[in-house]
Structure 1
Amino acid sequence: MPSDQPHTPRPVSALLFDLDGTLLDTPRAIAEQFADAVESVTGTHPGLENARRLIGAPLERMAGALSGSDPESDTARKVADAYLARYREVIVPKAADLLFPGVHTGLDRFLDAGLLLAVVTSKKQQSAELILESAGLRGYFAAVVGADRAQHPKPHRDSADVALAELGLTEPGPAGAVIGDTAADIQLGQAISVFTIGVSYGVLSAEEIAATGPDAIATTFDDVTSTVFTRIERGSTP
């Protein structure tokens, strides 16, 4: 028998996702191509581990650090340009094969539950759009915010605020969360006072991501999905 009580719509909530190391298994490929780009410009290979550990930083900062130059220097610009060419030619075409298991299923479930989805990344906007399209993921996200679309990139809250505004929200909502694999992602979530899920299958190990202080740790994308829905079922309490 239908209830006489008026239906109260569930408050809208948003999930803000990092891209590399969270949705796509790209960190190794990025490190390889960035290190090769540095070597092509400077003649010195910076080492794959050095490149990998900088993933998540803005492009110019990464180019400067790996080439031993100022991020605004001509050398850093040449490295960034060389990497972007490799990114488009080598990484983007393989994007569909780099999806972490469970991503499509999880994103489908989130949309079915009425959650709003956004990507907030340290990539340039064009690079983020290219790889999301190639991976078949772009249609899931109502907003994609690259580092060049915010006055201050992650971990500053600016990029999250841009994403929320594009989703038509002023705050993430009761079931909202930031999901990512680096300290910058967790700090972004903390900056906007939202639940944070650190993933241990990206750049940082389980111990390293735990040290950043997330509210929860996920070892797979299926864990991300179950964590979100467990919070919804419990009334969005930690």
Structure 2
Amino acid sequence: MPRPFDLILFDLDGTLIETAPEIADAVNDTLTALGHPAVSQQEVNDWIGHGTRELLIQALAKLLNTTTQQVREAEAFAAIEAEFGLHYQRRCGTRSHLYPHVRETLQALRAAGVTLVLMTNKEGRYTQTVLDVHGLTPLFHRVISGDTLPVKKPDPAGVHDCLQRFGVARERALFVGDSSIDVATARNAGVTVWALPYGYNMGEPIEACGPDRVIPDLSALTTQLPVRAAAAGA
């Protein structure tokens, strides 16, 4: 049986790794240093998706009762962002964990000859730390972070770049994510999208985004692999 896809692109936070607890720690480390009260874990979960910079902006806008645009334009924001960067780099990998069947699925897909790409809006320095801590870096053929290209998800540029770079037709590519941003990215690129129900998605059910398929966990990606390849990655 041939493999169903030649290229699979994965989101990171809420798809492969549960990272929200340590992101909340870093946000609250920053807020505490500024003399602000902490935000809740659920609030942080709902802000995940556009990168940690935007998440910090959302938190500050809520606490200061102002708009996100005013936070971005504030003279003090650069220093606050730098402070957050120190806290998050220290927190990366401390309270995150892989979701079920992630490692063995990636190993089986790679063994079957599928090209694997990570595509996240998380900034590159944090992405690399999280991947290294959990030992996933060697499993990906390419990593596209939020600052790798001039644009980020839901802009389809990253997907288009990978299709061209790896010589894959759109119908042979799949995007796997957990949010409306991931679904929109795939739709904008014209590729199939499967979604996971356990991620963040700004507090909304993933079914409302209209993915092509909702899968319970990543093991669904290996059910159609050749038997030998799937076994090799187990």
* TM category, shorter: 0.7 to 0.9
Match of 1:70 in 2: 71
Q: SS of 2:17's equivalent?
A: coil
- In structure 1, stretches of 5+ residues that fail to align are 1-8, 231-238
Corresponding residue for residue 27 of structure 2: 34
Aligned length: 217
RMSD of the TM alignment (CA)? 2.7
Give distance in 1, aligned partners of 2:150 and 2:202.
30
Q: Any idea what the Cα deviations from partners look like across 1:165-222, whole Å, max 9, x if unmatched?
A: 5x433x5543321111111111111111111111111114996111111111122222
Pairing 1:89-108 to 2, within 5 Å after superposition:
89-93=90-94, 98-108=97-107
Conservation of the 8 A alpha-carbon contact between 1:60 and 1:77 = no
Higher RCO (Cα < 8 Å, 6 or more apart)? 2
Task: Give the whole-Å Cα distance in 2 for the aligned partners of 1:11 and 1:198.
Answer: 16
Structure-2 change in CA distance of 1:229 and 1:40 (3 Å): farther
In structure 1, distance between residues paired with 2:89 and 2:181: 25
**Residues of 2 paired with 1:116 and 1:148: CA distance?**
22
With normalisation by structure 1, the TM-score equals 0.79
What is the match of residue 85 of structure 2?
A: 84
Aligned to 1:125: 124
**Unaligned 5+ runs, structure 2:** 62-69, 227-234
CA distances 1:94-113 after superposition (whole Å, capped 9, x unpaired) = 55xx1112111101111122
1:168-183 correspondence runs (5 A)? 168-169=166-167, 171=168, 173-183=170-180
CA separation in 1, counterparts of 2:166 and 2:197? 31
Aligned counterparts of 1:47 and 1:11: Cα–Cα separation in 2: 41
**Counterparts of residues 130-209 of structure 1 (less than 5 Å):** 130-165=129-164, 167-169=165-167, 171=168, 173-204=170-201, 208-209=205-206
CA deviation profile, 1:16-59 (whole Å, cap 9, x unmatched): 10011111111232133223323433523333322211111133
- Identity across the alignment (%): 23
Pairwise CA distance, 1:93: 4.6
| In 2, Cα distance between equivalents of 1:220 and 1:196 | 14
Q: Does 1:211 align with 2:211?
A: no
* Aligned equivalents of 1:221, 1:206: Cα separation in 2: 21
Deviates more, 1:172-181 or 1:100-109: 172-181
The superposition leaves residues 141-173 of structure 1 with CA deviations (integer Å, 9 ceiling, x where unpaired) of: 1110111112221111123234445x433x554
- From the superposition, tell whether residues 37 and 133 of structure 1 become closer, same or farther in structure 2 (CA, over 3 Å): same
* Superposed CA offset, 1:109-162 (max 9, x none): 111221100000011112111211111000111110111112221111123234
Does the alignment pair 1:60 with 2:53? yes
TM-score when normalising by structure 2? 0.81
- Checking the alignment, whether the CA contact within 8 Å between 1:18 and 1:179 is kept in structure 2 is yes
8 A contact 1:46–1:67 mirrored in 2 = no
Instruction: Compute the displacement of 1:224 (Å).
Output: 4.1
**Cα distance in 2, alignment partners of residues 196 and 84 from structure 1:** 32
